[in-house]
Chain A
Amino acid sequence: MAEVVELREAVAGLVSDGDSVALEGFTHLIPTAAAHEIIRQGKKDLVLIRMTPDLIYDQMIGMGCARKLIFSWGGNPGVGSLHRFRDAVENGWPRPLEIEEHSHAGMANRYVAGASNLPFAVLRGYVGTDLPKVTSTIAPITCPFTGEELMAVPALNPDVAIIHAQQADQRGNVAIWGITGIQKEAVLAARRAIVTVEEVVDHFEPRPFQIVLPSVAVDAVAVVPHGAHPSYADGYYDRDNAYYEAWDPISRDRERFTGWMEQHVLSVEDFADHTRSIQGEGAM
């Protein structure tokens, strides 16, 4: 059963150095507050997992939290490159970053296998591409019934999955609506799960395309209003597109990046303080 706790406590208790950690979100509901807490607590040697690593992965990589990244698309959506990710891959700064790359379909099926307690998943894909040459976790497999050749990818079972959702109830059930991406699979595939939410409510209203993650699938719920900013939370706030654009020049330069992180992430108390910090400075 999920306990409602402070985010600081959840990250300190459930994320350890060296863990494999999946902070998932597909443009929508990206768990920014939790990523900042991981950076502030100086977690290191993490294996970061994410279909679409974006700004928060750029920040964790640039701050040296990660030794490896498992992913399928890494960019600043609609803007361009992730400069800290590129600097790590191209120049090994601030430390070398091992990469294991897949396609979206491969990653999605790896989470499904993980959530299903299967060792691997099969799919039609990868054949004829260069991905199997560079990624050892892609291998051919023959169907025992038809003899057809398919591709297999191993299950993903992160030590910790972290997502942001709109609401939790008092018992720790979690409601997510709008684009729900891969969040359910990531949580059910993981050994431990942390969910940050906009608010705790007495009971959930019916919403289009809503899913509810039962409390038994979650270890900790932390209330962090605006905790997905600069991404959006359907029903709460819109995507802050200007922030994504502003990130490009900040992240392009090592010194400017480090200064920004020092001022707006390391030196603040929590996510509310971070929001005040970037607003006060006009930093975005």
Chain B
Amino acid sequence: MTDTAAPEYTTDEMMTVAAARELKDGAVCFVGIGLPSEATNLARATHAPNCVLIYESGTVGAKPDVLPLSIGDGVLAEYADSVVSVPEIFNYWLQAGRVDVGFLGAAQMDRYGNINTTVIGPYESPKVRLPGAGGAPEIAASAKEVAVILRQKPRSFVEEIAFVTSVGHRYGGDSRKELGYGGVGPTIVISDLGVLRPDPETKGLTMTALHPGATVEEAKEATGWELKVAEELETTDPPTEKELDILRELKARTEASRKKA
């Protein structure tokens, strides 16, 4: 619970701040657009100035001063250490094992961190046709670790995903290892309610921390499978004033630049 002196913030801001804290300084990070991009750029502006952000359009060491609307915005190339072709980013960087962590979003995720961004409903006659795979399947396969950022809702945290676009821990246990991928899969999921990590044995996602104000009941209600909760449940530190200021400035700058364009 926040006391009266602490700054006020939204659950989305808490989620972004909690995700940002997971990016280590100096890490090479393959960044998805949207929430992952917001979190990793907050990290770069706070505790991780030396992280190397890679976007799938081919920018390595991107340093955008505003958040990109799309994965190939000019601001990503402008201050990048290098700009390479798309085959090079996927083959020489991602597949070669040069990426420490992939930050991904999703439409749906199951208890093993498998991700769907393809369809809701049957593939042949979908209820909702989503954008599709993009770079996610190989990020999930070959980044050494994966962090997923996703708002916790019954329609996103589901018992069974309609389509496996990107593999997490597959059926749990050691089943991912049989696939022969270089990366270990999702090591953390950051939601607007808290943090989930895979159980070391079953690989099922377990709620290990709640953000201030969130409750176990709320998290269980927002989850489409029977949510496991860690015995020693932690509480996330609330956003600091500095984290909030930097995040809000980043978003305000982004908003202003979009209106100007």
- B20 proximal to A (CB < 8 A): no
Q: Which residues of B contact A244 (CB under 8 A)?
A: 69
Q: A179 contacts B261, CB within 8 Å? A: no
The contact string, 1 if C-beta is below 8 Å from chain A, for chain B 154-189, is: 000000000111110010000010011110000000
A-contact 0/1 string along B135-164, CB 8 Å cutoff = 111100110000000000000000000011
Q: Is A158 interfacial (CB 8 A cutoff)?
A: no
* A101 & B86 in contact (Cβ 8 Å cutoff): no
Within A58-106, the residues touching B (CB, 8 Å) are 71-75, 77-78, 81-82, 85-86, 89-90, 101-105
Minimal beta-carbon separation of A124 from chain B (angstroms): 5
Q: Which of B57, B136, B137 meets A26, CB within 8 Å? A: B57
Q: How far is the CB of A245 from chain B (nearest CB, A)?
A: 9
**B261 contacts A104, C-beta separation under 8 Å:** no
Complex: chain B residue closest to A185, CB-CB: B87
Q: Which A residues are in CB contact (< 8 Å) with B167?
A: 127-129
Interface segment among A9-17, A34-42, A231-239, A270-278: the answer is A231-239
Min C-beta distance of A57 to chain B, whole Å: 12
What is the number of residues of chain A that contact chain B, defined by CB distance less than 8 Å?
A: 56
> B85: CB under 8 A from chain A?
yes
On chain B, the residues within 8 Å of A137 by CB distance are none
Known: A78-B69, A130-B165. A239 touches B74 (CB 8 A): yes
A56 on the interface (CB 8 Å rule)? no
Q: Which residues of B come within 8 Å of A, CB atoms?
A: 33, 56-59, 68-74, 76-77, 82-83, 85-87, 90-91, 94-95, 118, 123, 125-129, 131-138, 141-142, 163-167, 170, 176, 179-182, 258, 261
6 contacts between A and B (CB under 8 A): A28-B72, A52-B134, A81-B131, A104-B56, A128-B176, A185-B87
